[in-house]
Structure formats: C-alpha cells, structure tokens
C-alpha cells in the first residue's frame, strides 16, 4: 500500500479525537473519519462544545470538520472506506477477576478487532494500528483474530502508541519528541510501516520517526510512558515524605535533583532480571504512588482534629492537571475515595470537567462499591465560592491558573473556623 487516502479511527476519546484532528489538519488530502458507538459523544464532536478540552483542539476541529475531518456513528462505512484503521478504544483497569485493580480490560480492543474482521472481510488490504495502551503482544492477539476469521495476510497490524500528556496533547502531537511505529519484520510489514510513516512525515522529520518490530514498540510504550514515569513520580513522592519529616522543601529538592545530568536517559540502563523480581519492583513503584494519595488524605484528616465524619470539604480541581478536561488517574478521584471512607461530605468544583464525568469516575466499581454513598456524600457545583460556603477545609487538587485569581479573603470569610487550606504536592 503506497499511499493512504482514507483513515478510520475507532474510538472518539482522548486519544482518537485529538490525534485524528491533527492528522486531518496536516494531511488535507486524507479523509479522516472518527467513529464511536456513543451517539452523545459524536454529537458533541459535531457541536460547538467538544467533549474534550485541550488547548488548541477547538480551533483545529473547527478548521477541519466537514472538510476532511468527520465524526460519525456509521462505523461500518468508515471501516470499509479506510486504507488505515486506528484502534483508539479505552482499556480501563479490570474491576473484577484476575488482575482486578491492576490489569487492563481488553474487551473493547477485542470487540473492535472482531468487528473489523467481519466488516472488512471483502474490502482488500487494510492497515490496522493499535494506539490504545495495551500489554505486550496485544498486536499478536489482534492478528490471530483476523486470521481466524478468514483474513490471513490481508491485514497488517502495527503498533503506534501515543505519548500524549494531559494539557499539552496538541503540542505533543504537533511537535512530538518521537513517533514510534512497530510492525512485523516481513516485506508486507515494512510496507505498512512506511505507509503509516508517510502520514506523519507531512509534518514530522523522518529522524524523529522510530521504526521497530511490533513487540519493541508495545514494550517501549509501557516502559517509557508508564513505568519509568511512574518510577520517577514514586521517587519524588518518597522524597516528599522525608521532606515533611525533616522540614525540607520538596520543590527545592526536586529542582536540585533535576539538575543532575545523571538522572536522565544515560541513567536508564536495562539490566537482566528474573521476571518475578521485576514484577515486584514495579508493583512497589505503583504502591508508592498510591501511598502518596492516601498520605495526603491522612493529612487532611489530621488537620481537622483527626476526624472528617460529616464535615464539609471543598475540593478545587478534578482534572488530572491544569489545561485538560482529562480525569484519568486524577489524584482527586482517590482523595475523594479516602475521604468518603472517612464519612466526609465533599463539594467538588472544576472549571472544565463536566458533572457527569466526575460522577462517573467516583461511582466506578474500583472506587466505590456503593453508588448511593457517592450520591449522599458528593456534591458537584459550578461556582467555586458556592463550594466553600460553610466548609471546614479547602483542598486544591489541580493547579488551574484561575484558582490564583480568586478572592481568598471572601473564601476564608465564608468557611467555618478554624478554616484550613491544603494543596496536593
């Protein structure tokens, strides 16, 4: 396949929507169609109020939508027309069974692969690209599904993981550190990799496009985007606990550490390890990050005289970080969980996260086994000053710039005394 004329993206979420919008902007000769089962989500993409907030995204969508960028619920037509199909569906954490609370649930990946296998069975060659975060060798599972449905050799499955950061997703797409493409080490696999590369070469220098085998691409995503970043977060979280005990300023310590050139790419050298030890190591990294959230919740409880039962706590910010409406793995989710476990009444305000999204996160089975308790203890408001009325404490969880402009004397005066204010580090 020498050229890509039409792209279908299955999944109109945080990865699919922004990625395909930028591709449509940079490749005006390619028709890009983003499809999803959810009619409300597609309706939002076709409206003036997009379902995702990212700086710059709104302008790109408005510029390209209706020209070569389309959002649709007609999944079958988009698959048939496409030369290249991105799979950008969610891979949520399993809420039951083996791996509960840790392993990704791949049911949406599998469902997408099976649907492609049926719909595109008589449509000629296709390139199918996994962009969702998946375990290593997930591409092999997708290929087996295609082969088992009579499509042996017709579909080339590539790995093209995303490395987007919330709040800078458009910048990351427009000027990425690197684009990673993995494919089979066969003649057909190389051709598919080059075809996808040709799309990115519209705006990304060739030297920034890294081509590997499929498994290397998948593993690089897990290590670079997940494991090593989690490791660094764990390290500074552990340091913050020491800072609290010694009176040191964690931000000053982090700044000093960051100037050490050894803590960078030259320091990340792989060693041969037995797999059980590797698993235990990374489990401890995750455990450290979870402990940081719990420790902050404990600080809130301690400030409020060791009990928050039936006390009102105002929480500013529910997004993962400022300049994004994304809430995945937001500290606010877990802080709310721990405070609900203590019986606190929490009023949440975020300038960009919708009420339904906040409620969905807090009623997820991994957070609360009792949705009625969430309805009883959580209030979501659209006015920050309303959130703090008669509150015992104010907790700032996201560093939105607008929070710096508030009238904090007014906020203090409206709170119960003694009033407390805390900020997630």
The verdict on whether residue 139 carries a ligand-binding annotation is: no
Q: Is 89 annotated as a binding residue?
A: yes
Sign of the Cα pseudo-torsion (54, 58, 59, 60, in order): positive
Long-range pairs, 103-111, Cβ under 8 A, ≥24: 103/135, 104/133, 104/134, 104/135, 106/134, 106/135, 106/138, 106/141, 108/11, 108/132, 109/134, 109/138, 109/142, 110/141, 110/145
- Nearest Cα neighbor of 24 from 68, 71, 87, 70 is 68
Contact assessment for residue 352 and residue 319, using Cβ atoms and an 8 Å cutoff: yes
- Is residue 91 a known part of a binding site? yes
**328 marked as binding residue:** yes
- Is 373 annotated as ligand-binding? no
- Show Cβ contacts of residue 382 under 8 Å, excluding neighbours closer than 6 positions: 349
Q: Is 90 annotated as a binding residue?
A: yes
129 is known to lie in a ligand binding site? no
379 is in an annotated binding site: no
Query: Hey, what are 111's tokens?
Result: 């469902």
168 is in an annotated binding site: no
Task: Print burial letters for 68-103: b (CB count within 10 Å at least 16), e (below 16).
Answer: bbbbbeebeebbbbbbbbbbbbbbeebeeeeeeeee
Q: CA nearest 81: which of 118, 45, 126?
A: 126
93 is in an annotated binding site: yes
Residue 12, annotated ligand binder? yes
Contact between 133 and 160 (Cβ < 8 Å): no
Question: Is 11 marked as a binding-site residue?
Answer: yes
CA distance 246 to 294: 20
Judge whether 95 is annotated as a binding position. no
Flag whether 41 is marked binding. Answer: yes
Instruction: Annotate 94-107 with DSSP letters as a single string.
Output: PSSSTTTTTSB--H
Q: Can you read off the two tokens belonging to residue 67?
A: 């020209």
Residues tagged in the binding site annotation for NAD(+): 11-16, 36, 41, 89-93, 132-133, 166, 328
Residues tagged in the binding site annotation: 11-16, 36, 41, 89-93, 132-133, 166, 328
């Amino acid at each position: 396949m020498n050229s890509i004329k039409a792209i279908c993206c299955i999944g109109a979420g945080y990865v699919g929507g922004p990625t395909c919008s930028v591709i449509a902007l940079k490749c005006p000769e390619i028709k890009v169609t983003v499809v999803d089962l959810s009619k409300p989500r597609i309706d939002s993409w076709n409206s003036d109020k997009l379902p995702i907030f990212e700086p710059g995204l709104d302008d790109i969508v408005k510029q390209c939508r209706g020209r070569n960028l389309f959002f649709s619920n007609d999944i079958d037509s988009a698959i048939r027309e496409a030369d290249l199909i991105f799979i950008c569906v969610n891979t949520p954490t399993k809420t039951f069974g083996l791996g509960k609370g840790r392993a990704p649930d791949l049911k949406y990946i599998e469902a997408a692969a099976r649907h492609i296998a049926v719909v595109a069975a008589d449509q000629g060659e296709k390139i199918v690209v996994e962009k969702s975060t998946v375990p290593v060798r997930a591409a092999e599972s997708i290929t087996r599904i295609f082969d088992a449905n009579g499509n042996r050799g017709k579909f080339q499955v590539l790995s093209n993981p995303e490395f987007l950061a919330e709040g800078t997703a458009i910048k990351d797409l427009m000027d990425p550190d690197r684009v990673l493409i993995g494919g089979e080490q066969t003649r057909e696999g190389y051709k598919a990799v080059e075809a996808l590369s040709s799309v990115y070469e519209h705006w990304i220098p060739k030297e920034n496009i890294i081509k590997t085998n499929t498994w290397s691409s998948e593993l690089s995503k897990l290590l670079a985007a997940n494991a090593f970043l989690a490791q660094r977060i764990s390290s500074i979280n552990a340091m913050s606990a020491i800072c609290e005990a010694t009176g040191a300023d964690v931000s000053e310590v982090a700044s000093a550490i960051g100037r050490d050139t050894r803590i960078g790419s030259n320091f990340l050298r792989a060693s041969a390890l037995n797999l059980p030890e590797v698993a235990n190591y990374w489990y401890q990294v995750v455990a450290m990050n979870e402990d940081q959230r719990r420790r902050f919740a404990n600080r809130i409880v301690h400030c409020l005289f060791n009990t928050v039962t039936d006390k009102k706590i105002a929480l500013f910010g529910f997004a993962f970080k400022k300049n994004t409406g994304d809430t995945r793995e937001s500290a606010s989710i877990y802080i709310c969980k721990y405070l609900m476990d203590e019986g606190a009444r929490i009023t949440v305000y975020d300038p960009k996260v919708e009420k339904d999204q906040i409620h969905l996160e807090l009623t997820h089975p991994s957070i609360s086994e009792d949705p009625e308790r969430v309805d009883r203890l959580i209030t979501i408001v659209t006015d920050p000053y309303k959130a703090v009325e008669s509150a015992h404490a104010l907790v700032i969880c996201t560093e939105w710039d607008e929070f710096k402009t508030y009238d904090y004397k007014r906020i203090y005066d409206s709170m119960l005394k003694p009033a407390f204010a805390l900020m997630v580090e």
